[in-house]
Amino acid sequence: MTASAPRSILPPPSAAEEEHGRRLAELIRQELVAAGGWLSFERFMELALYAPGLGYYSAGSAKLGAGGDFVTAPEVSDLFSRCIARQCAQVLAQTGGEILELGAGTGRMAAAVLTELAAHDQLPERYAILEVSADLAARQRERLMQLPEALRERVVWLERLPQRPLQGVMLANEVADALPCRRFRLGEGDVAELGVVLDARETAPIAFTEAATAADASLARACDEILTSLPERLPAGYASEVCLRAAPWIASLAACVARGMLLLCDYGLPRRHYYHPQRASGTLRCHYRQRAHEDPYINLGVQDITAWVDFTRVADAALLAGLEVKGFATQAAFLLGCGIEQLVSQAGEGIGRARLAGEARRLLVPGEMGEAFKMLALTRGLDIPLAGFELQDLRHLL
């Protein structure tokens, strides 16, 4: 992702985007007024991203790639997906069964994973995709229909999580960061929840801003659990976010795994690093036309809103759901463990290899994606070492 940019240098939205934003703003305004004039940030984020027909992931827009708002690792290079496939092949060799991808983007990762698995003679019985965005699902179908028949016939789209637990692999690349989160600010011995109110200072017909109220019992309890687990005290005025939806989300995914692996890739940190005193305003980021910024109240419905993942919360939820935390590593270590260097060397010499080497550097180096993104493997009934986690084991940090 790009570095955070000031609001003033963001590209102006088009007339169509402005109209779209006005309609979503009106929907949020109506719910805010009905709630008494204050709305939790969690609910605001949920509407901004998922309101039917209007939210960022529910309405049609170019989200991924050079013409979209951000670039994910599968869009940077198929090397990422081919390494994912190699890890999947190792698991499928033990479990058989299928792959379920949550939020498959443009379908590029699915296409590359299937192609690589075919080369390893380890194709899943089916490759299922659960996608909340109708626009992205259409793009996925267009791309995956270009695969050879033996591959494309294995692809199916689901409307909900399967009722029958699967054997195989579940993939979630940059999914957890889009779970709506709650915002809080620490006081002198108390906690306030940061929510959303109408902003009368703005000249726009409908504008929103941040406002605090007393934290309810669930948020206060979550903040107390965070604070008591940290090695040092956080100062008054410290603001951040907590995703209380992470635990039920992981529980719902765990219920769908009979035997196999749930592999998550996202930008985030273990709790003790996430809630660091120097990270005093949290990790909330918005992405609009390849620029990152920190204002979730503009460009409604046409910009992404994310927060970094507290991997400790995810790991704790997995353990409660009966999964084993099998591996935790940086993206760079995972890709190296899955043989990304070998994949580059197989390209031979010349321009092709130079291009792949450049793509690999972007996936591996700390300044790009190599360290900010983490890989977390959660398993059930899988007693084998995983190749992607043999070079690095950061589980002690969780």
67-91 pLDDT tens trace: 555 689 999 999 999 999 999 999 9
Yes or no: say if 132 and 51 are a contact pair by the CB < 8 Å rule. no
Say whether pLDDT at 164 is over 70: yes
Q: How confident is the model at residue 152 (pLDDT cuts 50, 70, 90)?
A: very high
Choice between 347 and 324, residue whose per-residue pLDDT is larger: 324
Q: How confident is the model at residue 101 (pLDDT cuts 50, 70, 90)?
A: very high
Closest CA to 194 of 383, 41, 329: 41
Domain at 133, CATH number? 3.40.50.12710
Say whether pLDDT at 2 is over 50: no
pLDDT at residue 65 in the model: 44
Q: How many domains does the chain fold into?
A: 1
Supply 175's token pair.
């999914």
pLDDT at residue 64 in the model: 43
Residue 30: CB atoms within 10 A of its CB come to 10
Q: How confident is the model at residue 3 (pLDDT cuts 50, 70, 90)?
A: very low
Per-residue pLDDT averaged across 362-370, rounded? 90
Beta strand 166-173 pairing with 98-102: parallel
Closest CA to 242 of 266, 227, 222: 222
Gap between the Cα atoms of 340 and 244, Å rounded: 35
Q: Which residues pair with 64 in a beta bridge?
A: 70
Helix-, strand-, coil-residue percentages of the chain, each rounded to 5: 40, 25, 40
Choice between 57 and 96, residue whose per-residue pLDDT is larger: 96
Per-residue pLDDT averaged across 293-315, rounded? 95
Q: How confident is the model at residue 203 (pLDDT cuts 50, 70, 90)?
A: low
Task: Output the pTM of the full model.
Answer: 0.94
Q: Domain range spanning residue 192?
A: 1-398
Gap between the Cα atoms of 231 and 276, Å rounded: 9
Q: How confident is the model at residue 261 (pLDDT cuts 50, 70, 90)?
A: very high
Query: Which residues have CB under 8 Å from 383's CB, separation 6+?
Result: none
Supply 130's token pair.
């659960």
E-state strands within 107-206: 127-130, 155-158, 166-173, 182-186, 191-198
Say whether pLDDT at 5 is over 60: no
Say whether pLDDT at 280 is over 70: yes
Q: Which amino acid is at 122?
A: Q
Per-residue pLDDT averaged across 5-10, rounded? 63
Mean pLDDT over all residues of the chain?
93
Say whether pLDDT at 162 is over 70: yes
Say whether pLDDT at 223 is over 60: yes
Gap between the Cα atoms of 375 and 263, Å rounded: 7
Q: How confident is the model at residue 202 (pLDDT cuts 50, 70, 90)?
A: low
Supply 272's token pair.
């003790």
Say whether pLDDT at 348 is over 80: no
**Percent of the chain's residues with pLDDT above 90:** 84
Q: How confident is the model at residue 367 (pLDDT cuts 50, 70, 90)?
A: confident
Choice between 11 and 344, residue whose per-residue pLDDT is larger: 344
E-state strands within 205-333: 208-214, 239-242, 257-269, 285-288, 291-293, 304-306, 309-310, 324-330
Beta strand 208-214 pairing with 239-242: unpaired
Per-residue pLDDT averaged across 257-261, rounded? 98
Yes or no: say if 74 and 81 are a contact pair by the CB < 8 Å rule. yes
Over the stretch 375-388, which tens digit does the pLDDT of each residue have?
A: 999 999 999 999 99
